[in-house]
Amino acid sequence: MVKLAACLLLVIVIASCGGGGSGGGGSTSPTTPPQPPASEEPPFGLDERPPLADFNLPTEPVAGGELGLERRYPALSFPSALFISPVPGEPSLVVVRQSGTLEAFEDDNASSEAKVVLDLSERILFAGEQGLLGLAFDPDFVSNRFLYVHYSMNNPRRSVIARFSWEPGSDEVDPDSEKIILEVEQPFANHNGGMLAFGPDDMLYIALGDGGSGGDPQNNAQNTQNLLGTILRIDVHPAEPGLPYSIPLDNPFTQNPTILDEIWAFGLRNPFRFSFDRETGKLWLGDVGQRTLEEIDIATGGENFGWRVYEGTMPFDDSENSLPDSSFTPPIYEYGRDQGVAIIGGYVYRGNDIAALAGRYVYTDFGSGNIWALTYDGGKVVGNELIARAESPTSLGEDANGELIVVSRQGELYGFTESGGGNAPDLLSETGLFTDLRNLVVASGLIEYTVNHAFWSDNALKRRWIAVPEAEVIDFEDTEAWNFPVGTITVKHFEMLTIEGNPASAVRLETRVMTRLREGWEAFTYRWNAQGTDATLLSGRQTQILQIQTAAGEQVEQVYSYPSRTDCFRCHTAAADRVLGLNTRQINTEFDYGDVIDNQLRSWNHIGLFRQDIGDDQQYPAYPGIDDATASPDERARTYLDVNCAQCHQPGGTTPVDIDLRFDTPIEQMGIINEVPLAGSLGIEDARIVLPGQPGRSIVIARTSRRDGAAMPPLASHLVDQAGVELLSAWVEAQ
């Protein structure tokens, strides 16, 4: 835990000068107040740098005591269980049974009843390693109610990826709602893989084994003209209607005619289970070995993991290989038959309950039942500890909060226990950031601020604070990103009006906290309870449906998403230096400090928050508000693109298209005017990213105007920013 020490700067006293008596027997009227000299500066919003309270925010995980397993949901059993997943937006879990059913139950340890919500037992091929193998909920499940399954079928033998609909208000998935997404023929009955999951990019990733038998006799894993022995990555929300899926533009082999476009990584034998780290977004997978080694891989896209040329790091069959050794990516870790016979894979633990597991990859082996916690420093494995043992574990899973569940083939579910240790605060009230949660009174040292042009957040109301530790300072830049010292804390609080125009109807949604560590920034999201009395730390993305009464009196439903830590850094990109909203153009505006209204740059400079004296705030640029009539449409539109889009769309950003939407980029260098869209035309004839004078044929307008898989921004938002669309449309019209 970090203790931010108090630092109180000297108060700068502004002297006042009163009127005095005059010579010759004259006097000043007693009713005339003393007047300050004309040269005296107006008062500052902040007169001193407030001392910092002690904040209870983590800088690194705190190790705990001994670990073990205990039965969870002891009244329930699911024979042939293969996987477990939380139901997004609901306090329920779903178990996948290989025999063909999905069974749901309330996430309460006292639950005694599970219900079959989908029965495919008459449809699937259930034998050996075949059956119902995987489940993934759509990233927008709360609104579209789609879920995806991976199962086996016969005549011909094949793996099927299919989508089903779970109708709102229903306790069953409609078996007749099936839409086939993908089918892959399987030559043998084993090595089907089975896992499927949505990545932090909302693409669907699918694990397929090498087709089976032993030793990959057809060399499928190295034959990139089929889909066996791979991890696939597809977009199941294609822009073109009627397609079951599309190929993401940034898939690694789309420019290689010898490798199918769907392939994300290949050279795998049987990647039965993989997962995404909730914090880093990295894909971790366990690949079951042939007869010697079990391996753990990290796939970032484009890897050939070597099977069947290699089993782990050992040569296996080089008879048909023409590639150099440098073509293969070795595992980050492997173990032999003395430890197990079939790696199941697992998860990087990002829950809150077991401090000793924080940040470690927890995985297991079906044969030995061993469960390990592997420590990875980003470049190599630095530890691997045996922590528990389970009976015939077929999977690990996560609940909605990132707590791990061990699934046994016999049907029991287990959770981890710890005898001691500590972790990040589970509750916002435990962080020390607020002295009065009911009235949102912050602790000493947190300075409230506002911004000129707010990021679109689906009509949420926001408040913001910053704390800079001890005598540390901010490196100020005129137009570039500021640099913040270690220990800096930013807080952003979200509320929503449930009755449009009525401030009394505001409900508290979330409070996001970012802390500057030595190695970079960490992000936390606290979701408020229904009573608005406290907020709980989240480890994964969550979604809620809000009931909103419009100004016309209509009752509507609004989907609201709470971001995971990975989601936070999809917007707070490295290219944008992680911190958004804390820069000169945003902070250069007035703020009501209570007794004084003052420019924020002026006040912050006065109390010494910046490394150098920045002088007069009027010399610096400022963003216009979206409805600022004193600014030109071009200034406002360019500001909108910078604030809402440029954190990804700039050099070094996270998007595969080469455009630069930063405010200072000359328009002819933005890569958007009359440019053909590389990520699809969305069905628009002869579309351009920006077609001057024609908003209807401009992709930037089309993407901003929708909230499906082709929407911009690509996550978290479920409402179109109509004011933003109108502003951008007028801008395109005027080009």
Lookup: tokens for 163: 């989508």
Please give the residue that has the higher pLDDT: either 12 or 573: 573
> What is the pLDDT at residue 713?
85
446 pLDDT exceeds 70? Answer: yes
Q: Which of the four pLDDT bands, split at 50, 70 and 90, describes residue 34?
A: very low
pLDDT in tens, 175-208: 999 999 999 999 999 999 999 999 999 999 999 9
pLDDT in tens, 562-591: 998 778 888 888 888 889 999 999 999 999
Burial status of residue 569 (CB atoms within 10 A of its CB: 0-12, 13-18, 19 or more):
buried
Give the range among 14-23, 166-175, 649-658 with minimum mean pLDDT.
14-23
521 pLDDT exceeds 60? Answer: yes
Three-state secondary-structure class, residue 204: strand
Return the DSSP state at 594. Answer: S
8 pLDDT exceeds 90? Answer: no
Tell me which residue of 382, 355, 465 sits closest to 65, measured CA to CA.
355
Q: Which of the four pLDDT bands, split at 50, 70 and 90, describes residue 59?
A: low
Domain boundaries, the chain: 1-21+32-58+425-623, 67-418, 626-735
pTM score, whole prediction: 0.78
> What is the pLDDT at residue 306?
98
Q: Which of the four pLDDT bands, split at 50, 70 and 90, describes residue 658?
A: confident
pLDDT in tens, 85-114: 999 999 999 999 999 999 999 999 999 999
Query: How far is residue 237's CA from residue 361's CA, in Å, rounded to a whole number?
Result: 31
Q: Which of the four pLDDT bands, split at 50, 70 and 90, describes residue 242?
A: confident
8 Å CB contact between 626 and 636: yes
Average pLDDT over residues 397-425: 85
Backbone angle region of 340, left / alpha / beta, with phi > 0 → left and psi within -120 to 50 → alpha: left
Fold classified for 67-418:
Neuraminidase (2.120.10)
Lookup: tokens for 719: 């409402």
pLDDT in tens, 346-361: 999 999 999 899 999 9
Q: At what angle do helices 633-644 and 722-734 cross, to 10 degrees?
A: 130
pLDDT in tens, 128-182: 899 999 999 999 999 999 999 999 999 999 999 999 999 887 889 999 999 999 9
pLDDT in tens, 535-564: 999 978 899 999 999 999 999 999 999 998
